[in-house]
Amino acid sequence: MYDLAVMWDWVAFSIRWLHVITAMAWIGASFYFIALDLMLKPAPGMPEGAYGEEWEVHGGGFYHTTKYLVAPERMPEHLTWHKWQSYATWLSGAALLMIIYWVGGELYLLDATKAELALWQGILISGGSLTIGWLAYDAMCKSKLSDHPTVLMLLLFVILVAMSWGYNQIFTGRAALLHLGAFTATIMTANVFFQIMPNQRIVVEDLKAGRTPDAKYGKIAKVRSTHNNYLTLPVVFLMLSNHYPLAFGTEYAWIIASLIFLTGVTIRHYFNTMHKTGTGPHWTWGVTVLLMIAIAWLSSVRPTETWEDAEARDLTPYEQKFASADGFEDAYNTILGNCSMCHAREPAWENMQWAPKGVYLETVGDVAQHASQIYLQAGISHAMPPPNAIQMDNEARETIIAWVREVRAGE
């Protein structure tokens, strides 16, 4: 029964929900601790060995926080680690990537107009690139470049730009930006798992044993944590980008993604400075606005593929399976009459500049490629088309359902 597609979609939705929840927890903890560290100030009468302190009010309680550079005379028995938010975010994100971009690779991952790849090749590039990215970044951080943090950050930015361009050469626009986000998030979580946590454990064990910790361990953890802090906002943008074709569906999407990393730096620099000094450099907002204006301008460049190009393209095996099925012609005509006015390379709907989510439903290949989405959005559910645009009757929806189930019944 093809309604297994419904269950599969709910599995994806549930994992996406988990991913968002854990990401909120991770980002919130990260931002809080960076702000806390920057706001702690020396004060008279602090305990011996204390570096800074502050107090906060939240939920009716008063919190007095003190930071020590060496072990205090007394430490509480219970130690709280903030690591599972990071791990759960990455694991749920990896599961979601596999469900959407590996299992659904013919639709979401591969772009035959960019590169002729088998699905297994696309999956290999997808997973392999995440691993290679972490290894390259980690090697840089362990080299003498660690003594030059600004140079290290610039080289990291160059790597991100190169990956943005590279992903855009082989994957769909949505997959390219999503993978750039996953590439960055992998570096961030690996920082926590392989560097920040192990080094902090060494320091904690030294403190418990009464030994003076080696300052290098704290330095390593601090550098990696700072990198994570500046990478957070661009990752959030990239994870949301698949909902906005203005971000992923343009000729210069890879440049848009690259510029977003610069906005992440300017925004975080403002808040980090504000937490430390009480006021932030206001020029950062001007730079951020200019970057967003440049991004908006780049997004106005329309894709080079025309209707004629799409019509002339050979169908992939996945598309051929749906296009040759019984009931396709009726379903195709139904979709053209109800969906293509918006889902077109040049939408006919007033004031609509881009097809929703970058989904085109004009040619035989378009409709066959998006069969599963059409089934879920306009077949068994009434999500599409919007009722204030077109009233699609039940008979039309049944035509779509019958077509897709015919294909699935033969699998």
DSSP annotation string for 145-204: GGG-HHHHHHHHHHHHHHHHHHHHHHB-HHHHHHHHHHHHHHHHHHIIIIIIHHHHHHHH
Average pLDDT for 83-91: 95
pLDDT at 13 over 70: yes
Residue reference for tokens 């609509």: 352
Average pLDDT in the 77-93 region?
A: 89
Of the two residues 128 and 218, the one the predictor is more confident about is 128
Instruction: Say if residues 331 and 405 touch (Cβ distance below 8 Å).
Output: no
Confidence of residue 71 (pLDDT cuts 50, 70, 90): low
The pLDDT of 124-137, averaged and rounded, is 95
Q: Over 60: is that where the pLDDT of 103 sits?
A: yes
How many Å apart are CA 73 and CA 330, to the nearest integer? 79
Instruction: Lowest mean pLDDT of 44-48, 151-155, 282-286, name the range.
Output: 44-48
Q: Which residues contact 370 (CB under 8 A, 6 or more apart)?
A: 107, 359, 361
* Average pLDDT score over residue span 72-99: 88
Phi/psi zone of residue 350: left (φ > 0), alpha (ψ -120 to 50 degrees), beta? Answer: beta
What pLDDT is recorded for position 289?
A: 97
Q: Which residue in this structure is represented by tokens 């919130």?
A: 28
Could you identify the residue written with the tokens 């939705």?
13
The pLDDT assigned to 310 comes to: 83
Residue 357, Ramachandran bin (φ over 0: left; ψ between -120 and 50: alpha; else beta): left
CB distance 75 to 93 below 8 Å: no
- Res 304: pLDDT: 67
- Please give the single-letter amino acid code of residue 164: S
pLDDT band at residue 90 using 50, 70 and 90 as cut-offs: very high
- Compute the distance between CA of residue 337 and CA of residue 354 in angstroms, rounded to an integer: 18
Helix (H, G, I), strand (E, B) or coil at 68: strand
Q: Determine the Cα–Cα distance for residues 43 and 46; give it in Å rounded to an integer.
A: 6
Alpha-carbon span 227 to 136, nearest angstrom: 15
d(C-alpha 366, C-alpha 145), whole Å: 48
Give me 264's structure tokens: 């992440």
Residue keyed to tokens 């999956």: 123
**Alpha carbon of 32 to those of 36, 39, 190, 225: distances in Å?**
6, 10, 20, 12
Q: Would the pLDDT of 21 be above 80?
A: yes
Q: What percent of the chain has pLDDT over 70?
A: 98
Looking at the chain, the whole-number percentage of residues with pLDDT higher than 90 is: 62
CB 237 within 8 A of CB 163: no
CA distance linking residue 378 with residue 384, whole number of Å: 5
Cis status of the peptide bond prior to 385, with omega within 30 of 0: yes
> In this structure, is the dihedral angle defined by the CA atoms of residues 357, 360, 361 and 367, taken in order, positive or negative?
negative
Residue 1 has pLDDT above 50, yes or no: no
SS3 99: helix
Decide the pairing of beta strands 61-68 and 50-58: antiparallel
The answer to whether residue 203 scores a pLDDT higher than 80 is yes
Classify the C-alpha dihedral 183-188-189-190 as positive or negative.
positive
Its sign, for the CA torsion 188, 191, 196, 201, is positive
The confidence score (pLDDT) of residue 2 equals: 54
SS3 209: coil
pLDDT at position 75: 75
Mean pLDDT of the chain, nearest integer: 91
The pair of structure tokens assigned to 285 is 């907002």
Nearest 5°: CA angle at 171, between 331 and 138? 150
Q: Is 18:34 a contact under the CB 8 Å cutoff?
A: no
146-198, pLDDT tens digit by residue? 888 889 999 999 999 999 999 999 999 999 999 999 999 999 999 999 999 99
Phi-psi region of 210 (alpha: psi -120 to 50; beta: other; left: phi over 0): left
How does residue 361 score in pLDDT terms, banded at 50, 70 and 90? very high
Round to whole Å and give the CA distance between 298 and 246.
9
The answer to which of 95-109, 193-207, 246-260, 360-374 has the lowest mean pLDDT is: 193-207
pLDDT tier at 404, thresholds 50, 70, 90: very high
Give the model's confidence band at 15: pLDDT under 50 very low, under 70 low, under 90 confident, else very high.
Answer: very high
Tell me if residue 41 falls in helix, strand or coil: strand
